[in-house]
Amino acid sequence: MTQLTEKIIFAGSMGSGKTTAIKSISEIEPVSTEVTNNDTEQNDKELTTMAMDFGTLTLSDKSKLLLYGTPGQQRLSFMWSVISDGSLGVIILIDNSVSDPLASLDIYLEGFANLINQSKAIIGITKSDLNDEVDVLSYHQHLKSKGLSIPVFTVDVREKEDVLVLLDGLISLCESQYTLGE
């Protein structure tokens, strides 16, 4: 029997939790390309991903997911299409504590438009407890204004179960698309 292997992308701004999400669910010690952050004006976190993060997760049917995290800095956006090529879908993580999280979302909606247009995307809002002015409804309204219907969840990427909800949602989207023959 052939084992099915699929590639899942974690994308989002620096500090949105991509590396942490992959660490939360990976069966292996994730491969990480984190280096000292020299762009502390954008984000004051100590480390930042320069190329990608990588982990794996085996599902109950023995399918294997290859988990890739993209760099969050826009100056490294050329890597996004390279890393996402051939992927099943993208999980976009948005740091809700930044000054304009909807503008941050727009960057990734544009950067991953090909996957999004194939209905292969889901959005996870991180740090939602730090900004109550932009809630899930605000995200849905913003997406609707762009003609998009993408599932949105609030998540704590440090919690394995929260990250698995995002994965389950993305896989369900892809399965329903396949079943319906879209």
Contact, 145 vs 132, CB < 8 A? Answer: no
Alpha helices in the chain (DSSP H): 18-25, 78-84, 101-111, 113-117, 136-145, 160-180
Q: How far apart are the first and last CA of the chain?
A: 27
Task: Report pLDDT for 174.
Answer: 85
Task: Report pLDDT for 176.
Answer: 77
Q: How far is Cα 103 from Cα 95, in angstroms, rounded to an integer?
A: 11
Average pLDDT of the chain?
A: 87
DSSP 19: H
Picking from 151, 153, 154, the residue whose alpha carbon sits closest to that of residue 172 is 151
Summarize pLDDT for 117-133 with one digit per residue, the tens: 887 899 999 999 888 88
DSSP 81: H
Domain positions in the chain are 5-180
Question: Is the pTM for the entire model greater than 0.75?
Answer: yes
Summarize pLDDT for 75-96 with one digit per residue, the tens: 777 888 888 889 999 999 999 9
What's domain 5-180's superfamily in CATH?
P-loop containing nucleotide triphosphate hydrolases (3.40.50.300)
Higher pLDDT among residues 149 and 36, named by residue = 149
Summarize pLDDT for 24-74 with one digit per residue, the tens: 999 998 887 656 655 556 556 565 555 688 999 998 878 899 999 998 877
